[in-house]
Amino acid sequence: MSEEKKTFKWLEKLKKVKHIEIYIAILFIVILLLIYMSNFGKNKNSNTTTTNELSITAYVDKLESDLEDILSNIGGVSNVKVMITLDIKQTQVVDSQINLNEFPPIKGVIVTAKGVNDTATKLKVLHAIEAVIDITNGNIEILSSD
């Protein structure tokens, strides 16, 4: 028998099945459920470890780098260096990893920069830091590197 005749007979048998739409719909639903169930377990474990955890050093480096970039854009300010300290004792740390849902609070910020001898410029830098980081100005130190 040729391939064409086999296919034709198979189609004829399929046409004789009553309510084939129902069978196709059920098959489609089963396939969707299998796909959903296979991805359900994977997403929980893999996303939690890759996106919700970050090393403490990388976290602080990112904060410092972003703050340096912003502060160096203030008029008259240049050569900005930032150091941020965290209050680690209030955060659970496992294998030098922190959960991004539980950021350790920032304990203090030190900024050295050229051009902050002027009181107005120093206040601009102070207000910029306060706008970005939720700490009191008593925990922020701005020093001139001139």
**pLDDT, tens digit (0-9, with 9 covering 90-100), for 50-70:** 434 457 788 888 889 999 999
Residues 6+ apart with CB under 8 A from 57: 96
pLDDT digits (tens, 9 = 90+) for 126-136: 999 988 888 88
Q: Are 76 and 138 part of one and the same domain?
A: yes
Q: 16, 31, 51: which is the final residue of a domain?
A: 51
Q: Are 100 and 139 part of one and the same domain?
A: yes
- Residue 53, classed as helix, strand or coil, is strand
Residues 6+ apart with CB under 8 A from 49: none
Closest CA to 78 of 134, 136, 133, 117: 117
Residues 6+ apart with CB under 8 A from 42: none
Distance, in Å, from the CA atom of 83 to the CA atom of 136, rounded to the nearest integer, reads: 16
Question: In the predicted model, is pLDDT for residue 46 greater than 50?
Answer: no
Q: What range does the domain containing 35 cover?
A: 3-51
For residue 68, what pLDDT is reported? 92
Write down the residue that tokens 């069978």 correspond to: 23
Q: Are 44 and 61 part of one and the same domain?
A: no
Q: In this predicted structure, which of 32-36, 47-51, 71-75 has the lowest mean pLDDT?
A: 47-51
